[in-house]
Amino acid sequence: MITAKLPDWRDTLPWPGPETHKHARGRLGVVSGKSTRTGAARLAARAGLRIGAGVVTILCPPDAASVIAPAVEAVMLTPFASDEALSAAAKGMDAAVIGPAAGVNESTIANIRALAETGAALVVDADGLTVFKDWPEELFGLLDRDDVLTPHEGEFKRLFPGLLDKGREAAARAAAKRAGAVVVLKGPATIIAAPDGRLSVNDNGVPWLATAGTGDVLAGMIGGLIAQRMDSFDAARAAVWMHAEAARLFGPGLIAEDLPEQLPAVLAGLYSQRP
């Protein structure tokens, strides 16, 4: 049962209708790291699927395929051996998540460049942010207003040095304008800012989210909603709120793997209260 106040983005949630098919619900890609770093992508992919994306595919280096394949079911899997192959594999996708456990290296930079050319809306998280710490303007040049950056404060400081001196809300708004993309500044009160000046402060944060992997789940949730053609700012606001609500429903002992399994209850509560 949902107890927190329902926010205004609920009116734009992409519920399926009787004629809806899987491709109409959107295609999401999630880029995995190497064979020893696949868990983050699997968390993000499952979250994207749970939140309603019709087709979710993990895009992985060839050495990771044999690790991921036994660990997924409805999530699809496509190996790629180069950034050009990644671009081809992501063709036709509506959104793509990149960064969780991707590696802070030249391959991640090349992969983000490749995805930026596909037309998919990007959700850039974790290593995908850190890898541009010395040249953030290059990252910003690849983005458009439908893309989303999801930094915690440490990552934010690396990409936007000095901005947090203005306070979190002013910093998030300035960062979104500078990047030309939606910025999700994570924390106890997560702030979501759009490049057009819209700003939202999430009001239902819970302490149970302070555990490894929860940010990967959030990135997948945002990507899953964007893949369903939800406005990126609203998708980020909705995902942040549902992420916290899922954690509240589970309570103490939460680990990241639990979050996607709480989403059906969160979604059912929202569905029952449609206008």
Contacting residues for 67 by C-beta, under 8 A, at least 6 apart = 35, 38
Question: What's the rounded Cα separation, in Å, for the pair 121 and 93?
Answer: 9
Which of 237, 207, 256 has the alpha carbon at shortest distance from 7? 237
Mean predicted lDDT score pLDDT of the chain? 96
- Range of weakest confidence among 174-178, 209-213, 270-274: 270-274
Question: In the sheet where 121-124 sits, what is the strand order?
Answer: 76-79, 55-60, 27-31, 95-98, 121-124, 148-149, 182-185, 191-193, 199-201
Residue 6 pLDDT grade (very low, low, confident, very high; cuts 50, 70, 90): low
What are the structural domain ranges in the chain? 26-262
Instruction: Check whether 51 has a pLDDT greater than 50.
Output: yes
Instruction: Check whether 69 has a pLDDT greater than 50.
Output: yes
Report residue 18: phi and psi, to 5°: -65, -25
Average confidence (pLDDT) over 227-235: 98
Return the H-helix or E-strand segment holding 140. helix 136-142
Which tokens go with 253?
């002992």
Instruction: Check whether 234 has a pLDDT greater than 60.
Output: yes
Whether the CB-CB separation of 15 and 226 falls below 8 Å is answered with: no
Which of 17, 39, 44, 13 has the alpha carbon at shortest distance from 28? 44
Question: What's the rounded Cα separation, in Å, for the pair 58 and 44?
Answer: 9
- 3-class SS of residue 91: coil
Whether the CB-CB separation of 48 and 220 falls below 8 Å is answered with: yes
Indicate the DSSP class of residue 82. Answer: S
Q: Could you report the per-residue pLDDT of 85-116, keeping only the tens digit for each? A: 999 999 999 999 999 999 999 999 999 999 99
pLDDT at position 227: 98
pLDDT at position 133: 97
Query: Is CATH 3.40.1190.20 correct for 26-262?
Result: yes
User: Which amino acid, 129?
Assistant: L
Indicate the DSSP class of residue 23. Answer: G
User: Which amino acid, 152?
Assistant: H
Whether the CB-CB separation of 239 and 51 falls below 8 Å is answered with: yes
Instruction: Characterize 142-157 residue by residue with b for buried, 16 or more Cβ atoms within 10 angstroms of its Cβ, and e for exposed.
Output: bbebbbbbbbbeebbe
Instruction: Check whether 275 has a pLDDT greater than 90.
Output: no
Whether the CB-CB separation of 267 and 51 falls below 8 Å is answered with: yes
pTM value > 0.95: yes
Average confidence (pLDDT) over 60-85: 98
Instruction: Check whether 1 has a pLDDT greater than 50.
Output: no
Which tokens go with 53?
């994306």
Whether the CB-CB separation of 128 and 140 falls below 8 Å is answered with: no
Question: What's the rounded Cα separation, in Å, for the pair 6 and 269?
Answer: 10
Instruction: Check whether 67 has a pLDDT greater than 50.
Output: yes
